[in-house]
C-alpha cells in the first residue's frame, strides 16, 4: 500500500483481491454523543486509480451507522477472512452515501456467494451461511470513502499495526 | 419487543464471533472481533481482554461500546449497547473465561496468541434486534430441560445411601440428559485433591483416580466454585494432561505405578464441570463430556447447576445419617473361605495398600482397609460401623465432618474391581461387613 500526493491510500493488487474475496465485512461509526455503532456490509467496490472504496450496506439493518455518517461522523470498515483470520481495517474521516451504481448488485451477489461458501467450507450450515452472508438486500446503498489509514488486525503480534508501503 | 439478555445466550456460545465497535477521543470508530462474550446476568456481560489494543485504549478513553451479536441458528443479529465498568483478573469469572478462551484458542490454532489478561465487565444499556432475514430461518425449539431436571431429582431423592445416590446421578445424566460420559469426584477433607467415586460411559471406571485442586477444568471448577463449560477442548485443560504434569512435578510421593488411570474420552469435544457446593464450599464436582464439539448449552449448564445443588444437599444429609447405626440386616457371617492366600501390604508413609503386590488404594481409604484387615485377623471381627472409624485415632480423620462414607464407597469399588478375596458389604445404615474369602497375610512395610 502506498499513498498519493493528496494523502489517499493506494491499494496493492493483493489487498484488493483480499477485500474482494470471501470476507466478512463489519463497519463502525460514532455518533455526535460518541456512542459507537456497528453493522454488517454486503460487499464492496474499490477503485485502484483513486483509492476510493465503496461498501454496500442495508439501509434498514445499518440505520444507526448511516445516521451517524449523515451527521458527518467518521467511518471504519473491517474485512476479515474467516478461514485465515486475516483482518484489515480501513478508516476515513468522511464518507459519501450514494445509491448503487450499475453493476453493484452483481458485486453484492458475488460477494454473498463467496462469503457464504467460505462459511460452508468451515462447517457452518448452508442455510445459516446463506442467511448471514447472502441475504436478500432490497435496500442496499453505497458508503464511499477514501481511507486515510489502514491497519492489519489479524490476531497476533502485528495486530493494530498500520499497513506499510507495498502491502 | 426487546428480548431479555438471557434469550440471547445462544449468541454468546462463540459459534459466530461477536464484533465490538468503540471510538476514540476524536470520535474515530474502531471495529474488532471478540473472542468471547460471557453472559453474567440480565444486565451484565464480560468481554475477554487479551491485548492492549485499540479497543482497549478506546474503552479507557470513552467507556461506551456496541456489540454486534449473531444467533448461530437463525442468523438474526442483535446490537448490545454497553458501558465499561471494571476489569477482574482473578476469581471465578476470570477462571471460567480463561478456561473457555483456552478452548477457543486451541480450536482456532491461536494457542500462542490468546492469553486472557482480564475479564472486562460491562453494563448492558440497551438491546436492539436488527431487522431479520426474510424469510426467517426456522429455529427448532430448545429441549425443555425442566421436566428432565424434575425426573432426575425424583430419582436422586429415592436414593437411601451415598453409593446409590452417586449411581443414580450418573444414570440420570445418561438416561435423562443424554450425557453418556460423566464422572463424580469428591474433594478430600484436606481440600487438596478430588478423587473419583463414580463414573459412567468409560471403558475403565477410574474410581480412586485423583486430580489436584486447580488442575484441569475439574480442578478449576472446584477451586473457584464456578461451573466451567467449554465447547472446544484445550490441551492445557485436559485433566489427563494436568494430572500427568502434576505427577511429573511431584513424582516422589506418587510413583506412576501407584496411579489409577483417570477415566476420560481420548478425544473430548465438549466438557462441563459443575462444582457441588455446600454453601460456598466445594465438596465435589459433577463432570460430563462428549466427543461432539459445542455439545453442552447454557441451558444444560443451568440444569446441572440446579441438579448439583440438590446433589449437595443429598450428599450432606446422607453423610450425616451414615453415622447413625441401624441393626444389622443379617447376622450371617461368611469369612475365611477356602480361597488362596492373600498378601496385604501396608505402607504407612502414604497409607497405601498393595494386594499381592498390586497397588490398590492409598490415603484415608488405605488406612481404613488396613484397620479392617488387622481387626479381622487379630480379633476375628468382620462387622464394623462408620462411627467407630470416625473415632479411631489411627485413621487420622479430620475433626470436621468429612466424606468418610464417600471414602468407604471408593474402597468398596476398588476392592470389587481389583481384589476377589476382600469385599465390603453394607449391612445397614452406618454399618458394613468385611467379607474375606482368602487367607490373609498382613505385612506392615513401615514396621
Residue A160 belongs to some domain of the structure: no
pLDDT for A145: 95
Residue B267 has pLDDT above 90, yes or no: no
Asked if residue B240 has pLDDT above 90, the reply is: no
Tell me the pLDDT tens digit for each residue of B426-439.
888 888 999 998 88
Residue B420: pLDDT over 90: no
- Domains along chain B? 5-129 (2.30.110.10), 145-321 (3.30.450.40), 341-444 (1.10.10.10)
CB count within 10 Å of CB A11 equals 22
- Please tell me whether the interface predicted TM-score (ipTM) of this complex is above 0.90: yes
Confidence of residue A39 (pLDDT cuts 50, 70, 90): very high
pLDDT band with cut points at 50, 70 and 90 for residue B326: low
- Asked whether residue A44 is domain-assigned, the answer is yes
Residue of B16, B17, B18, B29 to mutate, interface with A, max A Cβ within 10 Å: B29
Classify residue A25: in a domain, yes or no: yes
SS (H, E, C) B113-182: CCCCCEEEEEEEEEEEECCCCCCCCCCCCCCCHHHHHHHHHHHHHCCCCHHHHHHHHHHHHHHCCCCCEE
Q: Residue B14 has what pLDDT?
A: 80
Q: Name the pLDDT band for B328 (thresholds 50, 70, 90).
A: low
Model pLDDT, residue B109:
59
User: Which of A131, A133, A137, A151 best probes binding to B when mutated, by most B CB atoms within 10 angstroms?
Assistant: A131
Judge: A37–B70 Cβ closer than 8 Å, yes or no: no
Residue A123 in any domain: the answer is no
**Grid coordinates in use for A140?**
442496499
Contacts 24+ apart (CB under 8 A), B113-117: B113/A155, B113/A156, B113/A157, B114/A155, B114/B35, B114/B50, B115/B50, B116/B48, B116/B49, B116/B50, B117/B49, B117/B50, B117/B51, B117/B52, B117/B89
Rounded Cα distance between A11 and A13, Å, is 6
* Listed range (A65-79, B347-361, B384-398, B404-418) with the worst mean pLDDT: B384-398
User: Chain A 10-39, CB below 8 Å of chain B: which residues?
Assistant: 26-30, 34-39
Mean per-residue pLDDT for B197-225? 90
CB contact under 8 A, A36 and B21: yes
Q: What is the pLDDT of residues A120-164, one digit of tens each?
A: 998 889 999 999 999 999 999 999 999 988 888 887 666 677 776
**Cβ–Cβ gap B28/A91 under 8 Å:** yes
Residue to substitute from B20, B21, B79, B133, interface A, most A β-carbons within 10 A: B21
Supply the mean pLDDT for chain B: 85
Give the pairing type, strands A24-30 and B281-290. unpaired
Q: Would you say the C-alpha torsion A32, A37, A42, A43 has a positive or negative sign? A: positive
Sheet of B228-230: strand order equals: B210-212, B193-200, B181-187, B281-290, B270-278, B228-230
Parent domain of A69? 2-106+137-153
Q: What is the pLDDT of residue A165?
A: 43
B137 contacts A28? CB cut-off 8 A: no
Consecutive H or E run containing B223 = helix B216-224
Question: Does residue A12 lie in a domain region?
Answer: yes
Name the residue with higher pLDDT: A142 or B394. Answer: A142
Cβ B130–A39 below 8 Å, yes or no? yes
pLDDT above 90: residue B119: yes
Distance CA A90, CA A75 (A): 8
* Rg (alpha carbons) of chain B, rounded to whole number: 26
pLDDT of residue B142: 80
Tell whether the model's pLDDT for residue B24 goes beyond 90. Answer: yes
Residues of A whose CB is below 8 A from B30: 28, 36, 76, 89, 91
Asked if A91 lies within 8 A of B75 by C-beta distance, the reply is no
Chain A segment 42-101 residues within 8 A of B by beta carbon are: 58, 60-61, 64, 73-78, 80, 85, 87, 89, 91, 93
> Which residues are CB-neighbours of B437 under 8 A, at least 6 positions away?
B334, B335, B336, B337, B339, B420, B421, B422, B423
pLDDT mean across residues, chain A: 89
State residue A121's pLDDT score.
92
Residue B277 has pLDDT above 90, yes or no: yes
Average pLDDT on A88-97 reads 95
Of B135-149, B278-292, B314-328, B346-360, least confident by mean pLDDT is B314-328
CATH number of the domain that A50 lies in?
A: 2.30.110.10
Q: What is the pLDDT of residues B296-308, one digit of tens each?
A: 999 999 999 999 9
- Residue B336: pLDDT band (50, 70, 90) is low
Give the mean model confidence (pLDDT) for residues A109-128: 93
Q: Residue B447 above 50 pLDDT?
A: no
pLDDT at B415: 93
Question: What was the pLDDT predicted at B323?
Answer: 67
Supply the pLDDT for residue B335: 52
Q: Is the pLDDT of residue A35 over 70?
A: yes
Cβ contact, residue pair A78, B74, below 8 Å:
no
pLDDT band at B132 (very low <50, low <70, confident <90, very high): confident
Asked whether residue A17 is assigned to any structural domain, the reply reads: yes
A96 assigned to some structural domain: yes
pLDDT in tens, B366-376: 999 999 999 99
- Say yes or no to pLDDT of B85 above 50: yes
Q: pLDDT at position B256, please?
A: 46
Q: In chain B, which residue's Cα lies nearest the Cα of A90?
A: B30
Lowest mean per-residue pLDDT among A148-162, B207-221, B258-272: A148-162
Q: Output B171 or A12, whichever has higher pLDDT.
A: B171
Which residue on chain A is closest to B25 by alpha carbon?
Answer: A34
pLDDT at position B266? 82
Count of helices and strands (H, E) across chain B: 10, 20
B62/A28 Cβ within 8 A: no
Q: Do B21 and A75 make contact, defined as CB atoms within 8 angstroms?
A: no
Crossing angle of helices B92-107 and B216-224, in 10° steps, is: 160
Looking at residue B39, what is its pLDDT? 94
The total number of structural domains in chain A stands at 1
| Per-residue pLDDT band at B47 (split at 50, 70, 90) | very high
Q: Give the cell for residue A87.
A: 483482518
Is residue A58, in this structure, part of any structural domain at all? yes
Average of pLDDT values for B55-78? 94
pLDDT at A166: 42
Q: What's residue B254's pLDDT?
A: 47
pTM, 2 dp: 0.79
Asked if the Cβ–Cβ distance from B29 to A132 is below 8 Å, we say: no
Amino acid at each position: 500500500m502506498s499513498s498519493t500526493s493528496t494523502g489517499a491510500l493506494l491499494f496493492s493488487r493483493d489487498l484488493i483481491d483480499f477485500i474482494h474475496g470471501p470476507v466478512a465485512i463489519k463497519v463502525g461509526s460514532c455518533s455526535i454523543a460518541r456512542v459507537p455503532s456497528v453493522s454488517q456490509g454486503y460487499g464492496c467496490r474499490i477503485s485502484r486509480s483513486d483509492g476510493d472504496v465503496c461498501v454496500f450496506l442495508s439501509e434498514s439493518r445499518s440505520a444507526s451507522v448511516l445516521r451517524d455518517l449523515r451527521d458527518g461522523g467518521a467511518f471504519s470498515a473491517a474485512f476479515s477472512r474467516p478461514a485465515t483470520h486475516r483482518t484489515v481495517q480501513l478508516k476515513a474521516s468522511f464518507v459519501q452515501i450514494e445509491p448503487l451504481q450499475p453493476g453493484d448488485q452483481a458485486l453484492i451477489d458475488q460477494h454473498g456467494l463467496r462469503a457464504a461458501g467460505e462459511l460452508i467450507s468451515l462447517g457452518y450450515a448452508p442455510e445459516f451461511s446463506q442467511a448471514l452472508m447472502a441475504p436478500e438486500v432490497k435496500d442496499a446503498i453505497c458508503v464511499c470513502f477514501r481511507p486515510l489509514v489502514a491497519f492489519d488486525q489479524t490476531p497476533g503480534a502485528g495486530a493494530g499495526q498500520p499497513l506499510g508501503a507495498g502491502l | 419487543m426487546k428480548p431479555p439478555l438471557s434469550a440471547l445466550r445462544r449468541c454468546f456460545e462463540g459459534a459466530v464471533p461477536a464484533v465490538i465497535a468503540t471510538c476514540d477521543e476524536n470520535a474515530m470508530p474502531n471495529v474488532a472481533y471478540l473472542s468471547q462474550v460471557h453472559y453474567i446476568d440480565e444486565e451484565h456481560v464480560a468481554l475477554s481482554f487479551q491485548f492492549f489494543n485499540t479497543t482497549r485504549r478506546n474503552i479507557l478513553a470513552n467507556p461506551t461500546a456496541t456489540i454486534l451479536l449473531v444467533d448461530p441458528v437463525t442468523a438474526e443479529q442483535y446490537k448490545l449497547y454497553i458501558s465499561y465498568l471494571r476489569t477482574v483478573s482473578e476469581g471465578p469469572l476470570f477462571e471460567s473465561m480463561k478456561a473457555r478462551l483456552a478452548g477457543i484458542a486451541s480450536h482456532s490454532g491461536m494457542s500462542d496468541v490468546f492469553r486472557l489478561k482480564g475479564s472486562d465487565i460491562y453494563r448492558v444499556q440497551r438491546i436492539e434486534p436488527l431487522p431479520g432475514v426474510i424469510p426467517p430461518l426456522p429455529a427448532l425449539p430448545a429441549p425443555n430441560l425442566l421436566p428432565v431436571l424434575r425426573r432426575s431429582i425424583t430419582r436422586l431423592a429415592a436414593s437411601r445411601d451415598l453409593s446409590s445416590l452417586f449411581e443414580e446421578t450418573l444414570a440420570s445424566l445418561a438416561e435423562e440428559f443424554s450425557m453418556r460420559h460423566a464422572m463424580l469426584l469428591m474433594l478430600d477433607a484436606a481440600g487438596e485433591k478430588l478423587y473419583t467415586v463414580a463414573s459412567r460411559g468409560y471403558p475403565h471406571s477410574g474410581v480412586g483416580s485423583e486430580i489436584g485442586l486447580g488442575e484441569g477444568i475439574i480442578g478449576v471448577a472446584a477451586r473457584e466454585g464456578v461451573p466451567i463449560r467449554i465447547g472446544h477442548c484445550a490441551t492445557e485443560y485436559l485433566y489427563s494432561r494436568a494430572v500427568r504434569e502434576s505427577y511429573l512435578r511431584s513424582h516422589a510421593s506418587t510413583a506412576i505405578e501407584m496411579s489409577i488411570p483417570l477415566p476420560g474420552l481420548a478425544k473430548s469435544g465438549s466438557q462441563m464441570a459443575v462444582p457441588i457446593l455446600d454453601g460456598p464450599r466445594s465438596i465435589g464436582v459433577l463432570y460430563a463430556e462428549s466427543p461432539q464439539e459445542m455439545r453442552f448449552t447454557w441451558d444444560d449448564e443451568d440444569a446441572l447447576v440446579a441438579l448439583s445443588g440438590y446433589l449437595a444437599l443429598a450428599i450432606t444429609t446422607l453423610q450425616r445419617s451414615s453415622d447413625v447405626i441401624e441393626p444389622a440386616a443379617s447376622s450371617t457371617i461368611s469369612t475365611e473361605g477356602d480361597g488362596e492366600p492373600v498378601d496385604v501390604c501396608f505402607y504407612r508413609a502414604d497409607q497405601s495398600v498393595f494386594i499381592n503386590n498390586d497397588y490398590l488404594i492409598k490415603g484415608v481409604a488405605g488406612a481404613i482397609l488396613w484397620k479392617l484387615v488387622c481387626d479381622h485377623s487379630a480379633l476375628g471381627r468382620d462387622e464394623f460401623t462408620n462411627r467407630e472409624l470416625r473415632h479411631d485415632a489411627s485413621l487420622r480423620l479430620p475433626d470436621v465432618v468429612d466424606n468418610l462414607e464417600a471414602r468407604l464407597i471408593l474402597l468398596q469399588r476398588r476392592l470389587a474391581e481389583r481384589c476377589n478375596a476382600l469385599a465390603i458389604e453394607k449391612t445397614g445404615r452406618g454399618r458394613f461387613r468385611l467379607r474375606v474369602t482368602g487367607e490373609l497375610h498382613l505385612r506392615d512395610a513401615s514396621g
